Every structure is written in structure tokens, then in C-alpha cells.
């Protein structure tokens, strides 16, 4: 029984072909391409408003040098939200519950921000490893601690996204199994459990959007330190 709960996190295959590539391509197919017409439909207007608001809010504390990342960060935000939301549908697979995928997104982008800081302002980038006014005996210890915390950043990005989505999916499956099991035995309790499941589903929709936003927001903060 416990093994079946984790089967939903296995990458599905069909005729030996992994279908995770299809899960990557599906979100982009759902978004309409901009039309040359002056008046767009409501979905395109809402999509453009959301992207403009998100981009302006995300890049407002970053100087002009970091605005080159606007397309990357906005595309990543839309991509993660789409994957997280589609994973809440029945009989679907959520690629962002795989730690390997999240680390594959976090490590290159984090490393790019670090390399940009080392290239543009190496003194300031290395200065983050040693706070100002540190006593001399504590300098080696603080440098080691700050270096470890620097390299833990991509791991924290990937683990945070994976853990939140995995815990939510497991909790939803446990409550749904309990409601289905209690229905012939105690219908009243089963109905209350179904109501809890509905509230949890609404919470998971919010978590899916918030975790995608937090992932991109932390990347923008790392970028802000290095530009």
C-alpha cells in the first residue's frame, strides 16, 4: 500500500519511451501565441497583464544590468506554474516532483549568477564571504560557513520545490483514499473528509503558484547580489 502511494512520482513510460518529454512540451502548447490584431481575446489580455506585472515587480529592485534576465526568469515562472498546475489534474504526472529536474534548473541558473558576479565585480562577490567588521580569529570560520551556505543555495532551491509538491500530492492521495474507504462504512465522516480534500486541493493550487514564484524570486535575489 505504501509503495503505491509513491507510484505517482515515477516517470511514466510508454513502449519504453519516457513521457516526461511530453510533460515538458504540453505547457507551452496550451499558451496562445500573440496575434497581430489590435484587440486580443480575454485570455491573451490576462496573460499579457500577468507577465507584465510579474516582470515589473520582479525586476524593480535589480539594476539595469540584471534586466537582461527578464525573459529567462519570466519564462521559467510561467513554465513552473504550468507544470505544477497541470500536475494537480487526475491521472497526470508532475515533473517538478523529481529532484533531478529541479536541480537541473537550479544549479545552472545559480551558477550563472555566481559567474556573473565573479566577472563583473569580483571584489564585491568575494566580499559576501566575509561580513564587514568580523573579528580576526573568526575570519577562517566565517569564510568556511559562508562558502558552504553559498553552495547550499541551489540544493535548497531544488529541495524546497520538490518537498512541497511531493508532500501536497501525498497528503491529497492519503485523504482521498481515506474518504473512499470510509464511504460505505461511515458516510458522514467520508463527506467531511471529502470537504477537507476539497479545501486541501484549493490550498495545493495556491502552493503550486507560490512555490514557482518563490523559486524565481530567490534566483532574482541571487542575481541582485551579483550585478
Identify the pLDDT of residue 212: 92
Is residue 145 domain-resident? Answer: yes
Identify the pLDDT of residue 207: 92
Are residues 189 and 129 in contact, defined by beta-carbon separation less than 8 angstroms?
Answer: no
Q: Give the model confidence (pLDDT) of 122-148 as tens digits.
A: 887 777 777 777 777 878 888 888 889
Is residue 203 domain-resident? Answer: yes
What's the rounded Cα separation, in Å, for the pair 35 and 98? 35
Is residue 11 domain-resident? Answer: no
Identify the pLDDT of residue 9: 66
Instruction: Tell me the backbone φ, ψ of residue 17, rounded to 5 degrees.
Output: -100, 120
Identify the pLDDT of residue 39: 67
What's the rounded Cα separation, in Å, for the pair 226 and 224? 5
Is residue 59 domain-resident? Answer: yes
Identify the pLDDT of residue 158: 92
Is residue 185 domain-resident? Answer: yes
Q: Show the domain range for 70.
A: 17-29+41-224
pTM metric for this prediction:
0.83
Is residue 210 domain-resident? Answer: yes
Residues of the chain with pLDDT under 70: 1-9, 14, 32, 34-35, 38-39
Is residue 57 domain-resident? Answer: yes
Is residue 166 domain-resident? Answer: yes
Identify the pLDDT of residue 1: 45
What's the rounded Cα separation, in Å, for the pair 214 and 210? 6
How many domains is the chain partitioned into structurally? 1
Identify the pLDDT of residue 7: 62
Amino acid at each position: 500500500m505504501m509503495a503505491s502511494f509513491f507510484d505517482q512520482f515515477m516517470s511514466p513510460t510508454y513502449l519504453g519511451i519516457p513521457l516526461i518529454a511530453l510533460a515538458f512540451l504540453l505547457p507551452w502548447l496550451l499558451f496562445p501565441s500573440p496575434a497581430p490584431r489590435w484587440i486580443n481575446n480575454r485570455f491573451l489580455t490576462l496573460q499579457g497583464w500577468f507577465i507584465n506585472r510579474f516582470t515589473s515587480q520582479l525586476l524593480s529592485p535589480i539594476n539595469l544590468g540584471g534586466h537582461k534576465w527578464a525573459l529567462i526568469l519570466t519564462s521559467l515562472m510561467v513554465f513552473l506554474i504550468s507544470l505544477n498546475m497541470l500536475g494537480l489534474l487526475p491521472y497526470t504526472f508532475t515533473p517538478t516532483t523529481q529532484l533531478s529536474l529541479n536541480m537541473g534548473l537550479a544549479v545552472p541558473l545559480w551558477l550563472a549568477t555566481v559567474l556573473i558576479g565573479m566577472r563583473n565585480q569580483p571584489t564585491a562577490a568575494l566580499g559576501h564571504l566575509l561580513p564587514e567588521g568580523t573579528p580576526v580569529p573568526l575570519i577562517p570560520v566565517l569564510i568556511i560557513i559562508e562558502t558552504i551556505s553559498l553552495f547550499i543555495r541551489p540544493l535548497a532551491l531544488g529541495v524546497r520545490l520538490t518537498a512541497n509538491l511531493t508532500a501536497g500530492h501525498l497528503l491529497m492521495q492519503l485523504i482521498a483514499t481515506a474518504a473512499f474507504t470510509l464511504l460505505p462504512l461511515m458516510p458522514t465522516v467520508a463527506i467531511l473528509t471529502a470537504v477537507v480534500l476539497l479545501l486541501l486541493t484549493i490550498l495545493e493550487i495556491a502552493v503550486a503558484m507560490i512555490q514557482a514564484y518563490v523559486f524565481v524570486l530567490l534566483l532574482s535575489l541571487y542575481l541582485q547580489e551579483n550585478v
